[in-house]
A and B are shown apart, each in its own frame.
Chain A
Amino acid sequence: MPPLSSSPSSLTSKLRRLDLDGAVVGVRFLGASAAFALGEGEVVLVGEGETRLAAHKGAVLSVAGDDRRLLTGGDDGRVVATLADGTMQALFEQKGRWIDQVAAGPDGAVAFSAGKTAHFQPGKGERKSHDFPSTVGGLAFAPKGTRLAVAHYGGVSLWFPNAQAKPEFLEWKGSHRGVMWSPDTRFVVTTMQEAALHGWRLADGGHMRMSGYPSRVTSMAFTAGGKFLATSGSSEAILWPFASKEGPMGKQPTMLAPRDVRVSAVAAHPRDEVIACGYEDGLVLMVRISDGAEILLRSPDAAPVTALAWRGDGGALAIGTESGAAGLVVF
């Protein structure tokens, strides 16, 4: 990526506008194509052309994925993997249930949940299931893929699906929704029903309470190398410092790209210390963390940005909004 300081402050001319005709609930790059999951059950693959696929007979409730596949969980009880060539595979189906959460693990592994039950399906081998104390609010694979963080009411359970032992329980009062591991697996962080994050330092069980948001945090991402956790929920991007062993406690977060509109989605560049930051009015900025330099990628159009994803090499960004107006920026 060229140095931002010599770039113009707007790259909106590079935005390829897409009208997807449905609220975007998640997006991932599958190689060079962007795969947009729409609320009403479709997946749209956007490469040189556009391919619409009917992934679910109902709503898409959750989206995950990696460079190879887009995973969607639906209210039709199915977990579907969509590949870049348009191949679709139903990995699981349970009629009458909703698949609330999905997560992608290494080597083709998948985790998903329906109500209180979480399932782990390895790339090869037998599916494992476990019932948690309450509905699963979030699921995340540890980077090696052998352990899952499962967020629920009252805390997070760390589950080794292939071990007999009971999951380790990290307790913190309240309802935990999203969950994420730091790339070095030293920390687990949740988004809460309240306008706050909670984190645990796994080495000693230390608690990290990250609050002060005006609204609930719905999007978070670790920046390249895990130095910062970038979050939505405020009228600027809030980045908590995670570079040290202690984590962010006692330190001030970095605040970038302040506006009078709240940040609704963030995505971290895979290589550089740069984030993409989408707002509730549809505006998208690219922001360099070191000096806060901003480049406008998309002008506002009233619908909130609901999904952002960088291509694996960082050379493109996919943008989805609640109205279905979407875009691709290739740098």
Chain B
Amino acid sequence: MADMASAKIPVTVLTGYLGAGKTTLLNRILSEPHGKKFAVVVNEFGEIGIDNDLVVGADEEVFEMNNGCICCTVRGDLIRIIDGLLRRKNDFDGIIIETTGLADPAPVAQTFFVDETVGAKTMLDAVVTVADAKWLKDRLKDAPEAKNQIAFADVILLNKTDLVSETDLKDVEMRIRAINPFARIHRTQRSEIAIDKVLGQGAFDLDRIQAIDPDFLEGGHRHFHDEDMRSYSFASDKPLDADKFFPWIQELTQTEGPNILRSKGILAFKDDPDRFVFQGVHMILDGDHQRPWRADEAKTSRIVFIGRQLDAAALEKGFLSCVA
């Protein structure tokens, strides 16, 4: 399986609110002497200047799927563009998709799980969000798009750190953590970052789900309870019953899918020596047995949702009712 996964073309999605430094990051990735070639999907030509790479304009066409799943939207233009790019797949090593500042990352991410051809030939590597350290807190208040972009991210560049104090930086990091406990946060100035911290993240690769760090999960939302968007985490030291868990999570994502942006879990099932890991984007869930639990590791089942207006008490009750 590892071989098949590595043969897929990695796709990085760059998001970020207007003016955060997304295009600067894109230009950095493309101009670094890494010897790699990229196909770049952009919304507006002109801002990036590169010779070697393949640049394609996107139309941001968001399509609903006819599968009874109301939040299951995909980017129709991306399906078409990626189908086309795959015809010359020997010409590049990876695909970078730059979204507009106002875009919701969900349809972009879902495209890679819903379309069969796209899913078979490419692999979503990570959603990378560039955030403006000075203005993010304001945008989290007034721009739902900015909140979605933070909630969805696997990697966050907290950019323009030279414009704010250390205290303010810590504060904004705590706010990010309250919304999104998974993302790796990097402080940057002028979007300057080592390329290996942005590309090759394997964020949607089930094999690379290691741990869901309880410190982040507990710390964040206690102090900055964001009414609208936050993370919810639950844990159990008792093994779960697979026959109870799967119907519960499926029912939950079917009914609450529109409000659950991302989910992730590491689970210990009764009479099962393996860790079961899963991750989800709205209603789309992807899960598998990962590896045997090690003798030195606590068999704790842990599950996290990033979402808005979820009933924490009901979620906890539902999760704990899956204990075998």
Contact = CB atoms under 8 A, between A and B. Distances in A.
A194 B114 CA distance: 9
Contact of B79 (A25, A193, A194): A193
A134 B117 CA distance: 21
A23 interface: yes
A135 B59 CA distance: 9
Contact of A98 (B61, B84, B86, B90): B84
A40 B116 contact: no
B56 to A, nearest CB: 8
Contacts of B61: 134-135, 153
A174 interface: yes
Contacts of B83: 61
A22 B128 CA distance: 34
Interface string A193-206: 11010000000000
Interface residues of B, number: 25
Interface string B142-174: 000000000000000000000000000000000
Given A115-B59, A135-B76, A215-B116, A59 B64 contact: no
B294 interface: no
A92 B88 CA distance: 22
Q: How large is the interface on A (under 10, 10 to 19, 20 to 34, 35 or more residues)?
A: 20 to 34
A134 B65 contact: no
Contacts of B90: 40
B65 A59 contact: no
Name the prevailing secondary structure of the A interface residues.
Answer: loop
B65 A23 contact: no
A60 interface: yes
A153 B84 CA distance: 18
A174 B114 CA distance: 14
Main secondary structure of the interface of B (DSSP, over half): mixed
A192 interface: yes
A61 B79 CA distance: 13
B84 A194 contact: no
Nearest to A173: B66
Given A40-B90, A175-B76, A193-B115, A61 B63 contact: no
A236 interface: no
Contact of B87 (A25, A115, A174, A196): A25
Contacts of A23: 87
14 contacts: A39-B87, A61-B83, A75-B88, A134-B61, A135-B59, A174-B66, A175-B63, A175-B65, A175-B76, A192-B66, A193-B74, A193-B76, A194-B66, A215-B116
Interface of A: 23, 25, 39-40, 58-61, 75, 96, 98, 100, 115-116, 134-135, 137, 153, 173-175, 192-194, 196, 215-216
